[in-house]
């Protein structure tokens, strides 16, 4: 499969899809190869063929521009086996600074630090400095992405059968997460979302709402049961709300449409004035990265407003 995908990048046997431009189709083929190459690299790592595995891991991570923490993890594991410690340390330091080092990459970096320094002494200060650099860079990038739009109001029923009115959360920073039980990336992001929610569980000024939408099936009771069983099985402590199907189109849902969501998971961070300050689509696989990014968004959304819209309470009325 990997060899087939690699050939498809340069000499595709299939025809270009009608709905894709030549540029998009080329990018699709590259991403397909990177997916197979990453998986194959991990198999080679497990079978201890480190040299060959490194070739594929490097291809996969490079195609993703070294921005995907999950792919970087495989790259780091194989880099550790094929490169001198000085090179490993240098490359993984950069990934850590950029905030794209996954769990495995961080563990490799720690092992390499101990190997080069002879002990663990000073590691905490070292990693804190790297993280600080990454946090400041991410904060600067997020500042460029800040928006300032009114958040559509809604009143939905939650998992416990209680009404939840966005209007009643005035004065709080609110995180909305649109998701569905069939959505793989949504479910993959939930452990990180649980960590983020736990981080703010004692903060009365922050609220998380998980809006289940686009859930399959015409039977309302069956849909709600599917969602409830999923949350219970995974022991998530989320405040889950059920989006409402459109009366004219049962396959469309009201709130997700009002927020102009095109794909899930999509998250919104609302400031205390009831305005959307951040919109984030998808999940890149980096749990710690998502928690860090959300934490910064919450911090920035909770800062004093310069929008001139007045106090948080007035904006929600």
Q: What is the DSSP string of 192-224?
A: HHHHHHHHTTT-TTEEEEEEE-S---S-HHHHH
Q: What is the Cα 205 distance to its own chain's centre?
A: 23
305 token code pair? 């407003």
Distance CA 91, CA 104 (A): 14
Q: At 268, is the secondary structure helix, strand, or coil?
A: strand
Q: What was the pLDDT predicted at 303?
A: 67
214 token code pair? 């686009």
- Largest pairwise CA distance in the chain: 68
Distance CA 230, CA 251 (A): 21
pTM: 0.73
**Full pLDDT tens readout for the chain, 317 residues:** 999 999 999 999 989 998 889 999 999 999 999 999 999 999 999 999 999 999 999 999 999 999 898 999 999 999 999 999 999 999 999 999 888 898 899 999 999 999 999 999 999 999 989 988 888 888 999 999 999 999 999 999 999 999 999 999 989 999 999 999 999 999 999 999 999 999 999 999 999 999 999 997 667 888 899 999 999 999 999 999 999 988 888 778 999 999 999 999 999 999 999 999 999 999 977 888 899 999 999 999 986 544 434 333 333 33
For the four alpha carbons of 114, 118, 120 and 126, in that order, the dihedral sign comes to negative
Tell me how crowded residue 103 is: count the other CB atoms within 10 A of its CB: 14
Q: What angle do CA 91, 190, 273 make, to 5 degrees?
A: 100
Q: At 118, is the secondary structure helix, strand, or coil?
A: coil
Tell me how crowded residue 161 is: count the other CB atoms within 10 A of its CB: 8
Distance CA 15, CA 17 (A): 6
Q: What was the pLDDT predicted at 117?
A: 93
Q: Report the side by side order of strands in the sheet with 266-270.
A: 149-150, 275-281, 266-270, 173-179, 206-212, 240-242, 155-158, 163-165
Residue labelled with tokens 């969501």: 261
Q: What was the pLDDT predicted at 140?
A: 92
Residues in CB range of 8: below 8 A, 6 or more apart: 14, 29, 32, 33
Q: What was the pLDDT predicted at 272?
A: 93
DSSP conformation class of 167 = G
Q: Are 298 and 214 in contact (CB under 8 A)?
A: no
74 token code pair? 């495989």
């Amino acid at each position: 499969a990997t060899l087939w995908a690699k050939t498809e990048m340069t000499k595709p046997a299939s025809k270009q899809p009608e709905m894709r431009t030549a540029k998009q189709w080329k990018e699709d083929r590259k991403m397909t190869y990177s997916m197979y190459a990453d998986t194959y690299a991990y198999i080679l790592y497990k079978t201890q063929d480190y040299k060959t595995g490194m070739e594929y891991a490097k291809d996969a991570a490079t195609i993703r521009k070294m921005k995907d923490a999950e792919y970087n993890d495989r790259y780091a594991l194989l880099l550790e086996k094929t490169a001198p410690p000085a090179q490993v340390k240098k490359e993984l330091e950069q990934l850590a600074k950029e905030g794209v080092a996954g769990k495995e990459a961080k563990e490799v970096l720690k092992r390499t630090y101990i190997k080069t320094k002879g002990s663990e002494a000073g590691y905490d200060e070292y990693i804190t400095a790297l993280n600080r650099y990454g946090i400041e860079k991410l904060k600067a990038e997020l500042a460029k992405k800040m928006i300032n739009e009114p958040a559509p109001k809604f009143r939905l029923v939650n998992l416990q059968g209680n009404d939840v009115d966005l209007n009643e959360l005035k004065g709080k920073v609110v995180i909305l997460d649109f998701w569905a039980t069939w959505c793989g990336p949504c479910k993959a992001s939930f452990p990180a979302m649980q960590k983020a929610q736990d981080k703010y569980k004692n903060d009365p000024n922050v609220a998380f709402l998980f809006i289940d939408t686009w859930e399959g099936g015409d039977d309302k009771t069956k849909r709600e049961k599917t969602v409830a069983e999923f949350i219970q099985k995974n022991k998530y402590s989320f405040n889950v709300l059920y989006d409402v199907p459109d009366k004219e189109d049962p396959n469309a849902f009201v709130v997700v449409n009002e927020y102009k969501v095109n794909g899930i998971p999509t998250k919104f961070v609302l400031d205390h004035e009831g305005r959307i300050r951040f919109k984030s689509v998808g999940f890149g696989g980096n749990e710690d990265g998502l928690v860090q990014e959300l934490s910064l968004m919450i911090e920035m959304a909770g800062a004093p407003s310069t929008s001139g819209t007045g106090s948080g309470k007035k904006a929600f009325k």
